[in-house]
């Protein structure tokens, strides 16, 4: 306890000594008309070298009082304002001196007209659901459009609003989540701020069908090895239940002249209707072309 008290007394005395530190003041803008918008990057804060007691400087570094810059009366175009010690929001109760403005010494920014556009939203889904669960690629969005507000030049370049990524990795049930926009241009906002995204997940069903590999037109003088292919078809259980897979067939295909392809692998092509959203894997996915004996 005595050692702790001694340390506290030492720190109290030490921080009463004069010191010099660089302190950051977050930059904030005020009084900008609703018809205008800041455009492009701006400095996050103004840094200044201050002289005062250690206690005073530590309090300023911890609280970081914002530097509010009025934009009243300005119009579209380039705006520049030199920073002076008088602009810094220093408490009047502090005996702190400004040694110098470190950076930026001049705040520069672009002012543009504010534009409002209604644009469609684009969902992004990543990941693979749990085994036995199927996602057919459908996504429900509410609302499907949002109003984008911001600098006219930035908003005019947009054709849609990309939403934050929704993950379905290892999920077993339909994913319902509210997400906001991802990577909007500087100073742009959307209304509403979030969109309800629903990614339907359904129990999966898998069927395997083994089919002979047919020859295309003009390829009757050739055969392939192997002669059969296995199709593994995955789809939502409800869609698979009523699926008719009997009209499916597979044939080999290759560029002319076919005789030049003997001994080489040729591609397979599948023909036939599948359930909506179904995924198909062929095994093998290519075969070796041979001449009939």
Q: What residue ranges do the domains of the chain occupy?
A: 2-112, 114-202, 205-291
Bond from prior residue into 255 cis (ω within 30 degrees of 0): no
The per-residue b/e assignment along 167-193, b for 16 or more CB within 10 angstroms, e otherwise, is ebeebeeebeeebebeebeebbebeee
Q: So what's the pLDDT on residue 79? A: 92
Separation of alpha carbons 42 and 27, rounded Å? 9
Do residues 166 and 265 lie in contact, with contact meaning Cβ atoms separated by under 8 Å?
no
Question: In the numeric block, which tokens belong to residue 49?
Answer: 């070298």
Beta strands in 40-144 (DSSP E): 45-53, 67-70, 77-82, 97-103, 106-122, 125-126, 133-134, 140-142
Sign of the dihedral defined by the CA atoms of residues 235, 238, 241, 245, in that order? negative
Q: What is the DSSP letter of 154?
A: H
Do residues 184 and 161 lie in contact, with contact meaning Cβ atoms separated by under 8 Å?
yes
Separation of alpha carbons 250 and 53, rounded Å? 84
Separation of alpha carbons 119 and 159, rounded Å? 7
CB atoms near residue 233 (< 10 Å): 19
Q: So what's the pLDDT on residue 6? A: 59
Sequence-ordered list of residues with C-beta below 8 angstroms from that of 210, at least 6 positions apart, any chain: 228, 229, 230, 231
Q: So what's the pLDDT on residue 231? A: 92
Q: Bridge-partner residues for 243, per DSSP?
A: none
Task: State phi, psi for 220 to the nearest 5 degrees.
Answer: -65, -20
Question: Looking at the domain 114-202, which fold is it?
Answer: RNA Polymerase Alpha Subunit; Chain A, domain 2 (2.170.120)
CB atoms near residue 130 (< 10 Å): 13
Question: In the numeric block, which tokens belong to residue 149?
Answer: 């507000």
Q: So what's the pLDDT on residue 57? A: 85
Do the domains 205-291 and 114-202 match in fold? Answer: yes
Report residues of the chain scoring pLDDT below 70.
5-16
Q: So what's the pLDDT on residue 15? A: 54
Half-sphere exposure of 190 (CA within 13 A, CB side): 24
Burial of 4 (0-12, 13-18, 19+ CB in 10 A): exposed
Q: So what's the pLDDT on residue 119? A: 97
Q: So what's the pLDDT on residue 7? A: 57
Question: Looking at the domain 2-112, which fold is it?
Answer: RNA Polymerase Alpha Subunit; Chain A, domain 2 (2.170.120)
Q: So what's the pLDDT on residue 160? A: 95
Q: So what's the pLDDT on residue 205? A: 84
CATH number corresponding to 205-291:
2.170.120.30
21 closest CA partner among 87, 107, 106, 94: 94
């Amino acid at each position: 306890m005595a050692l702790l008290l001694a340390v506290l007394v030492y720190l109290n005395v030490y921080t009463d000594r004069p010191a010099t530190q660089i302190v950051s003041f977050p930059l904030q803008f005020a009084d900008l008309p609703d018809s205008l918008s800041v455009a492009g990057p701006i400095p996050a804060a103004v840094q200044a070298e201050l002289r005062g007691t250690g206690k005073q400087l530590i309090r300023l570094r911890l609280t970081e009082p914002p530097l509010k810059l009025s934009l009243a009366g300005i119009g579209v175009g380039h705006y520049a304002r030199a920073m002076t010690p008088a602009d810094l929001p220093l408490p009047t109760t502090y005996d702190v001196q400004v040694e110098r403005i470190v950076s930026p010494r001049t705040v520069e920014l672009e002012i543009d007209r504010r534009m409002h556009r209604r644009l469609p939203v684009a969902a992004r889904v990543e990941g693979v659901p749990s085994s036995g669960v199927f996602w057919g690629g459908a996504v429900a969005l509410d609302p499907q459009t949002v109003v984008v507000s911001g600098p006219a030049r930035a908003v005019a370049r947009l054709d849609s609003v990309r939403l934050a990524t929704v993950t379905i990795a290892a999920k077993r049930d339909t994913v319902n989540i509210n997400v906001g926009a991802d990577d909007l241009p500087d100073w742009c906002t959307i209304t509403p701020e979030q969109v309800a995204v629903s990614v339907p997940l359904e129990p999966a069903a898998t069927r395997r069908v083994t089919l002979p590999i047919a020859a295309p037109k003009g390829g009757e003088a050739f055969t392939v090895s192997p002669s059969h292919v296995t199709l593994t078809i995955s789809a939502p259980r409800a869609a698979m239940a009523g699926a008719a897979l009997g009209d499916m067939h597979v044939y080999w295909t290759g560029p002319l002249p076919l005789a030049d392809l003997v001994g080489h692998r040729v591609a397979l092509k599948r023909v036939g209707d599948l359930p909506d959203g179904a995924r198909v894997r062929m095994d093998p996915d290519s075969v070796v072309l041979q001449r009939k004996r």
